Amino acid sequence: IVEENEEDILNTLQKAIDSNVDYVELRSDVINDVTSAKVSYIIDKMKSISDIPIILTNRTGTEGGFFQGSEEERIKILSDNACFVEYTDVELSTDSTLRQKVIDNANKTIISYHNFSETPSFEYLEDIVIKAKNIGDIPKVAVKPQKLEDTFILLKLMMKYRNMIGISMDKIGAYTRVIGPIIGAPITYAAIDSQSAPGQLDIKTTDEIIRKLKYWFHTMNDKERIIIKKLNK
């Protein structure tokens, strides 16, 4: 949900309900004149409408967000509201002391890393995933591919670490958003109205493709399954 005011946030939430999604992500960094109290109020209003679990995010500019305040103010919004939502997303790059405040207050956490310039090496990203797994519940890695081969780095990573969110951005990497759940990613992101990240597909398209791929996988014969297992290793 990337809306600036309460009315639009709740309207978009209703569209998400109608689309039968499993989670909604509230991008608090997009909200006009955002404060911790305002986010608390909006979460309460959202919960009065639906029991869909919420992922709370408050992105910095360097990681694709719009929050303009200090780092302490940004973290306060997350830590004050972490107990009200299912998942709180906090960046791995956050100062460890501030990051721990969020983790201590959260029900569950997504520890995220975003790179809008490139796709680092497999070894570099693996180190990020390991660090994120050690401090939170779900690692999230979103990177920009320069060529198709870059997307294979992310797929290899997701095959090795199943309980992670992996996204290769832009049109080149759009397919990873639907392959991820097939190979073990617990969450993928889709647009309700406006894209919140480059290459993001809409909910209907994402859902249809994932369902078709899962059906195909479950109807494979034993020989095909063995090949897939070998590839995953």
CA 5/CA 39 separation, integer angstroms: 11
Render 141-175 in DSSP notation, one character per residue. EEE--SSHHHHHHHHHHHHHSSSSEEEE-HHHHTT
The pairs formed by 32-39 with CB atoms below 8 angstroms and a separation of 24 or more are 32/4, 32/5, 34/58, 34/67, 34/77, 35/77, 36/76, 36/77, 36/80, 36/81, 39/77, 39/80, 39/81
Instruction: Quote the distance between the C-alpha of residue 28 and its chain's center.
Output: 14
Pairing of strands 24-27, 87-91: unpaired
Whether 54 and 28 have beta carbons less than 8 Å apart is answered as no
Q: Which residues participate in catalysis according to the annotation? A: 114, 140
